[in-house]
Amino acid sequence: MFNLILFGPPGSGKGTQSEKLIAKYNFKHLSTGDLLRNEITRKTPLGLEAKKFMDKGQLVPDEVVIGMISSTLDNNPNVVGFLFDGFPRTATQAEALDKLLELKQQSINVMLALDVSEEELVKRLQKRGETSGRSDDNQQVIRTRILEYNKKTSPVADYYRKSKKAEMVKGEGTIEEIFKGLIKEIDSRIHKK
Ligand code: AP5
Ligand code: MG
C-alpha cells in the first residue's frame, strides 16, 4: 500500500488535487471535511455535534474524527492506498493515525504540504463562498479557520519532518502545474519501493 497525506491550510487545494490524484492512482480518498459534511446532511447525532464547531471555523474534537477514520480504514481493507485530505489536523490525530495504521502493518509513506500564501487562501475561499453554499466560506469564519490551522494544524508538519516524511510542494500556479509537482514527489517514492 502507498499512504499519502495531502496537507495544507484551508483553501490550499487539497480537495481539488485529491480528485486528480485519485483518478490517476486509484487511492481511496479520505477527507474528514467531506465525511463530516455528509454526517451533517444526514442529520446524524455526530453531524449535529460537528456542525457547532464547523460553522465557527473551529476544529471538531479529536475523538470524533479519529473514530470516523478508524471505521473507514476498517471498511476498506483492499485498497491500493489511502489519500488523507484534511487529516491529521492535530498532533493527537497524527499519533492516533500511526497507531491505527500499525494495527494493519501499514504506515504513512509521505506527507505532501501545499504551500500557499495567506492572501491567496482568503481570495480563493471568498470566491468559492459566492457559490459553494458552505456555511464556513465567509470572511469571518475563513479567518478563524486560518487561525486554527496556524495554531493547531501547522505544527503537525513537524511530526512528519522528524521521520523525514514531509515534503513542501508549490501550491500556487495553475491546477495542472501543482498536480505535476505532486506527481513528481509521489512517483519518486512509489518507484523506490
Ligand atoms: P475541510 O473540509 O477539510 O476544509 P478546509 O481544510 O478548511 O479546506 P477546504 O476544503 O476549504 O480547502 P481545500 O484545501 O480542500 O481546497 P479546495 O481544493 O477546496 O474542513 C472543514 C471543517 O471541518 C474544519 O474547519 C473543521 O471544523 C472540520 N474538520 C475537518 N477535518 C477535521 C479534522 N481532521 N479535525 C478536526 N476538525 C476537522 O480549493 C479551494 C478553492 O480554491 C476552490 O474554489 C478551488 O476551485 C480553488 N482552487 C484550487 N486550486 C486552485 C489554484 N491552483 N488556483 C486558483 N484556485 C484554486
Ligand atoms: Mg477540502
What's the confidence (pLDDT) of residue 181?
A: 98
Q: Is 153 in the pocket of ligand 1 (CB under 6 A)?
A: no
143 is catalytic: no
Active site residue 134: yes
In a 3-state reduction of DSSP, which class is residue 166? Answer: strand
| pLDDT confidence tier of residue 191, bands split at 50, 70 and 90 | confident
CA of 13 to the centre of ligand 2 (A): 7
Annotated catalytic residue 89: yes
What are the tens digits of pLDDT across the range 110-150? 999 999 999 999 999 999 999 998 999 999 999 999 999 99
Q: Which three-class secondary structure state does DSSP give residue 168?
A: strand
- 75, burial (CB in 10 Å: exposed 0-12, middle 13-18, buried 19+): exposed
Question: What pLDDT is attached to residue 40?
Answer: 96
Where residue 87 falls among pLDDT bands split at 50, 70, 90?
Answer: very high
pLDDT of residue 108: 98
Q: Is the CB of 134 under 6 A from ligand 1?
A: no
Tell me: pLDDT of 192 over 90: no
Binding site membership of 87 for ligand 1 (Cβ less than 6 Å): yes
Q: What is the pLDDT of residue 13?
A: 98
Q: What's the CA-to-centroid distance between 131 and ligand 2, angstroms?
A: 15
Percentage above 70 pLDDT, the chain: 99
124 lines ligand 1 (CB under 6 A): yes
Residue 35 pLDDT exceeds 70 = yes
Distance CA 152, CA 154 (A): 6
% of the chain surpassing 90 pLDDT: 97
CA of 152 to the centre of ligand 2 (A): 17
Average pLDDT, the chain: 96
Mean pLDDT of 4-30: 98
C-alpha grid cell for residue 133? 453554499
Q: What's the CA-to-centroid distance between 13 and ligand 1, angstroms?
A: 7
**Do 109 and 2 form a contact (C-beta atoms < 8 A)?**
yes
Q: Which ligand is nearest to the CA of 127?
A: 1
Please indicate whether residue 116, judged by its CB atom, sits closer than 6 Å to ligand 1. Answer: no
- Indicate yes or no: pTM above 0.85: yes
